[in-house]
Structure 1
């Protein structure tokens, strides 16, 4: 058996590396450049589809309505600024991480915090599933023969990203930084060349766009609000940095705040540039080609720069999943620390990351990909709602905090949060009104997950109460011990167990269960000659069951022993074979007895192993 453990240990080291000492935790912290790459990939990747979501809604009216994408983009940028200011304040106010969960829980109440935390946990699973599926679609579009393997490819990608994150924060950040920054460079080159061509008049004659302010028949306020809500999908991932403050190098709050500002600035510039170029080029959304692809083709033609933009876009759509891997384990840790999730989420793995959270996220994402067959487009509205619920709750929580504490400059802070809360609430309402058929699941799922959190918390509180020592309620003293040894014959294994029991107490019962009277008499005679000083109890089993008569006898002894403050210990003899496959050649009666008795409340069950040498 040892060689199996050795092989598994070697394979584990190969996948995730050698275990790190706890003292190396500081080395696993992120600097600003690495944090920007690993925590901003989701937000930055949303540039690839944020503008497109706006145009899809406006296309239902007419091409002339595309000019509305400019004021809508301004509205999105205004909301982005409010969110950045709000989460910057959250970072400094709650430097230990937790983001919307902590803010909502401390300022609004427990249920609000659990709703925010549950929404974000589900959203991070959706982040991974949607991002990887989108990247897989880009791969299968380039190689159509792989289309039938979409689910398999997506699952393999999730496994690879999971393994990469299990290797540690700094290692994954070092690898993932390159494609993220290549994507940023590619889009800046695209926007820069596009603006240069516009300023120099070097634009295709076929490019047409309606002038800003052109009247549009059939446009309504409701449709504009719907387009605005769809465009707000570009803001997913903004909250990740506030959840992951403990991952930053010291001073963590300041570095996290700077990273947030950098991310917001990059997101604003890229979103503005892509939206303007899409408007100026008169780009219309197509089912078989993205808006970014059309802009790149119009700007560069189908040359190497076009493929560079497309390649880095596909890559960051896959790597956007890494934001979930960075934030999910830390949020799960915060919930587990408050006893709302299993304690296993507070344990660091070999590489000092919260590996249980990383693995759970990977498994959840793979299951979602399999159930949706890799077609996760209908999950995007649910994905956005999962973000805007915590957005709204965190902004509201900060409003309550400023009204309660009234620190210096609290009016300006309150105003920023109030504006942000009103806008995010409006977006949330619009999502529910316009896409209820796709987001109704939230109404059912969130109460269920909150109930699950409460049940887990109730369990931990009950356990804590039962484990807590009360000086005014001393435990009853244990006056002695009665040991019951189930025996199946006269062997060295039994002899070893009887001798051990004798070293502890003289209150010993050897119990033998027989299936016929003749066997019972023969065994009693042999036992009297072998161990005359140890009391033998023989039990008759008419139905060839060892467990039932043994259990009844134990209950009888325990009842009498408890009257004198004695404890009952069942000492189970068990032999251990030299080779693991030998186990299938023997009855596992000792294991069955132990499994059966372990749930008896007032009985101690102990196993005494006897190791074979051959």
Structure 2
């Protein structure tokens, strides 16, 4: 049944030879990898206004120069990551760049930041999309967490079906969103040009504002820079592109940067000219659409496509998180299960883990986007800074042709990214302070996992392993609970292995049961030694473990190997297992941690 449900949700397994068919062309890659960056125009401009509104609506004109600053940063990042794509065509992004040029610690800081950032990508995107839905339908506002969690589950299943299939589905809402915003911006500018929008809704640029400060403007700039999250995703996911992957990735990055610049500028300008003020339950894009079209078809079309791309922007995280996890797992900093491909050739373990942690985050923050965005943004600007710094070191060390211009581009990107990171820590410390705790914690965990893998490798290596002792004979211990076909099958199995000694162990709770069982055993298996261990406290595990330890100590003196043979019947139907006490499972679990004891399970399959 479970297999049928899995096939229905995920689809039939794909052969490894079909991996090339799962690569993305530029059109699909733009949709699946740029959705996070493009969707941020739905909340990036709003974050600027949320800061400026603290000193009054008159300060909204500052959103224009702040937006210009954000566009300068965007240009620097696009040019910088374009260089990273060509310098590191196998992907890995900030983690690989930082590790190779700055060292392991900066690499782990980048990797850890991005892992958390992609979890936040999913949580922020889905929460923002849910906000767009509840803005249009306020009655759903109290169900925000449930709606967001359902969307995460849907996107997780979609990605488990494979990169190509998810990209084919996601391309439509992404491009619909782009078209919808172009229509909104175009109609809005047309109405402004024709005088349909009163010019007195906003303060003129240059109007003096009481209470404004450089600190506040930098805070607004840092908040607006949240619109640039997701820019790095393409450099992480180069292996997902069709050949030639670096060229296709580079062109996709430029296309994304151009679209993001136009959409961000348009929304900021319309919000300023319309005099839009941020509200708790109504997004800025919703207010602009309502003033431009009224609550008619186009308003709901824009809200619908905005909600779709905000929700599906989470797919950027699903595309980049598993690939980053693969790089970290190959370097032994996280579990190796993240390197395994699933039935549909995607890295299923990374996808499932990302979905689970995102839901945990949504529930923890009650789906409140504004509480997640600062943490989300600072998590990505730290890797921005480190990757740009790593490229600076690379150019200075190797000095390839044209390295001076490349150095200048990366230096500008590093400087601005560092400034934005510092602004987040200074201006939003109460919301991002947890970064100071979780980054060292994640790096500590990375090192512990690495140390474990190195220790395991050292112990298993033939050149360093302790010499194994020769085995002179075998002692089989057989826990029994009755005279059954299961026990008979296990005894026959032990005999077939030429055991020097087979000891059946029976653990009664009552003396009367012990006497009766001993008599029956002598008649049934007189040639098999039976040991009874009376258990007045009605436990099987403790007396059995003590007996095994005693036999193991004596056997070791004679170089004998102790094997515990566990009889176990297997019900025909899986749900029948809940009707039995699973004693064999508990015994096996405890014995696995006993040194020098081999555990063997002999299954007996029931027929009905």
Q: TM-score range by the shorter chain?
A: over 0.9
Instruction: Report the more deviating stretch, 326-335 or 283-292.
Output: 283-292
Residue pair 2:136, 2:303 contacting (<8 A) in 1 also: no
Question: What is the match of residue 593 of structure 2?
Answer: 599
Q: Quickly say closer, same or farther: Cα 1:424–1:37, change in 2 above 3 A.
A: same
In the alignment of these two chains, the number of paired residues is: 607
Q: Quickly say closer, same or farther: Cα 1:172–1:613, change in 2 above 3 A.
A: closer
Distance in 1 separating the partners of 2:465 and 2:598: 26
Distance in 2 separating the partners of 1:58 and 1:494: 78
Residue pair 2:85, 2:91 contacting (<8 A) in 1 also: yes
What is the CA-CA distance between 1:25 and the residue it aligns to?
1.2
Residue pair 2:191, 2:197 contacting (<8 A) in 1 also: no
Q: Quickly say closer, same or farther: Cα 1:308–1:512, change in 2 above 3 A.
A: closer
Question: What is the match of residue 414 of structure 2?
Answer: 421
Matched residue SS, 2:306: helix
What is the alpha-carbon root mean square deviation over aligned residues? 2.6
Counterpart of 2:94 (choices 95, 100, 116) is 100
1:340 paired to 2:333: yes
Write the mapping of 1:440-451 to structure 2, written as runs, cut at 5 A. Answer: 440-451=433-444
Distance in 1 separating the partners of 2:502 and 2:453: 38
Q: Quickly say closer, same or farther: Cα 1:152–1:471, change in 2 above 3 A.
A: closer
1:21 paired to 2:15: yes
Q: Quickly say closer, same or farther: Cα 1:471–1:123, change in 2 above 3 A.
A: closer
Residue pair 1:512, 1:539 contacting (<8 A) in 2 also: yes
Matched residue SS, 2:43: helix
Residue pair 1:396, 1:418 contacting (<8 A) in 2 also: yes
1:482 paired to 2:502: no
Distance in 2 separating the partners of 1:277 and 1:336: 46
Question: What is the match of residue 78 of structure 1?
Answer: 72
**Deviation digits for residues 391-438 of structure 1 (CA, Å, limit 9, x no counterpart):** 111111111222222222222111111111111111111111111111
Distance in 1 separating the partners of 2:582 and 2:58: 78
**Deviation digits for residues 38-63 of structure 1 (CA, Å, limit 9, x no counterpart):** 11111111112222322333333454
Question: What is the match of residue 466 of structure 1?
Answer: 459
Instruction: Report the more deviating stretch, 490-499 or 436-445.
Output: 490-499
Q: Quickly say closer, same or farther: Cα 1:140–1:224, change in 2 above 3 A.
A: closer
Counterpart of 2:218 (choices 218, 222, 225) is 225
Counterpart of 1:261 (choices 246, 249, 254) is 254
Matched residue SS, 1:573: strand
1:175 paired to 2:175: no
Matched residue SS, 2:74: helix
1:566 paired to 2:555: no
Distance in 2 separating the partners of 1:582 and 1:271: 59
Instruction: Report the more deviating stretch, 103-112 or 425-434.
Output: 103-112
Distance in 1 separating the partners of 2:132 and 2:580: 56
Distance in 2 separating the partners of 1:458 and 1:452: 10
Counterpart of 1:385 (choices 369, 373, 378) is 378
Counterpart of 2:3 (choices 9, 13, 36) is 9
Residue pair 2:135, 2:282 contacting (<8 A) in 1 also: no
Residue pair 2:23, 2:241 contacting (<8 A) in 1 also: yes
**Deviation digits for residues 251-296 of structure 1 (CA, Å, limit 9, x no counterpart):** 1111111111110111112122222333344444444543333444
What is the CA-CA distance between 1:499 and the residue it aligns to?
2.6
Matched residue SS, 2:54: coil
Distance in 1 separating the partners of 2:40 and 2:580: 61
Counterpart of 1:328 (choices 300, 321, 325) is 321
Q: Quickly say closer, same or farther: Cα 1:250–1:497, change in 2 above 3 A.
A: same
Question: What is the match of residue 362 of structure 1?
Answer: 355
What is the CA-CA distance between 1:312 and the residue it aligns to?
1.9
Matched residue SS, 2:123: helix
TM-score norm. by structure 2 comes to 0.92
Residue pair 2:133, 2:304 contacting (<8 A) in 1 also: no
Q: Quickly say closer, same or farther: Cα 1:209–1:582, change in 2 above 3 A.
A: closer
Q: Quickly say closer, same or farther: Cα 1:492–1:57, change in 2 above 3 A.
A: closer
Question: What is the match of residue 369 of structure 2?
Answer: 376
Instruction: Report the more deviating stretch, 223-232 or 579-588.
Output: 579-588
Question: What is the match of residue 42 of structure 1?
Answer: 36
Question: What is the match of residue 162 of structure 1?
Answer: 156
Distance in 2 separating the partners of 1:440 and 1:507: 65
What is the CA-CA distance between 1:354 and the residue it aligns to?
1.3
Distance in 1 separating the partners of 2:9 and 2:587: 39
Q: Quickly say closer, same or farther: Cα 1:457–1:203, change in 2 above 3 A.
A: same
Write the mapping of 1:184-223 to structure 2, written as runs, cut at 5 A. Answer: 184-199=178-193, 201-223=194-216
Distance in 2 separating the partners of 1:221 and 1:588: 68
Residue pair 1:502, 1:508 contacting (<8 A) in 2 also: no
Matched residue SS, 2:417: helix
What is the CA-CA distance between 1:388 and the residue it aligns to?
0.9
**Deviation digits for residues 121-143 of structure 1 (CA, Å, limit 9, x no counterpart):** 22222222222122222222222
Distance in 2 separating the partners of 1:392 and 1:326: 22
Residue pair 2:473, 2:499 contacting (<8 A) in 1 also: no
Question: What is the match of residue 133 of structure 2?
Answer: 139
Counterpart of 1:395 (choices 374, 388, 399) is 388
What is the CA-CA distance between 1:314 and the residue it aligns to?
2.4
Distance in 1 separating the partners of 2:57 and 2:471: 86
Residue pair 1:513, 1:549 contacting (<8 A) in 2 also: no
Question: What is the match of residue 608 of structure 1?
Answer: 602
Distance in 1 separating the partners of 2:245 and 2:136: 42
Residue pair 2:43, 2:227 contacting (<8 A) in 1 also: yes
What is the CA-CA distance between 1:534 and the residue it aligns to?
4.1
Distance in 2 separating the partners of 1:586 and 1:472: 41
Distance in 2 separating the partners of 1:525 and 1:292: 84
Matched residue SS, 2:478: strand
Q: What are the ranges of 5 or more consecutive residues in structure 2 without an aligned counterpart? A: none
Q: Quickly say closer, same or farther: Cα 1:524–1:173, change in 2 above 3 A.
A: closer
Instruction: Report the more deviating stretch, 103-112 or 511-520.
Output: 511-520
Counterpart of 2:430 (choices 437, 449, 464) is 437
TM-score norm. by structure 1 comes to 0.91
What is the CA-CA distance between 1:569 and the residue it aligns to?
0.9
Distance in 2 separating the partners of 1:385 and 1:40: 19
Question: What is the match of residue 3 of structure 1?
Answer: none
What is the CA-CA distance between 1:32 and the residue it aligns to?
0.5
Distance in 1 separating the partners of 2:537 and 2:297: 81
Counterpart of 1:130 (choices 88, 106, 124) is 124
Distance in 2 separating the partners of 1:584 and 1:72: 62
Matched residue SS, 1:219: coil
1:409 paired to 2:409: no
Q: Quickly say closer, same or farther: Cα 1:583–1:422, change in 2 above 3 A.
A: closer
Instruction: Report the more deviating stretch, 456-465 or 519-528.
Output: 519-528
Residue pair 2:46, 2:284 contacting (<8 A) in 1 also: yes
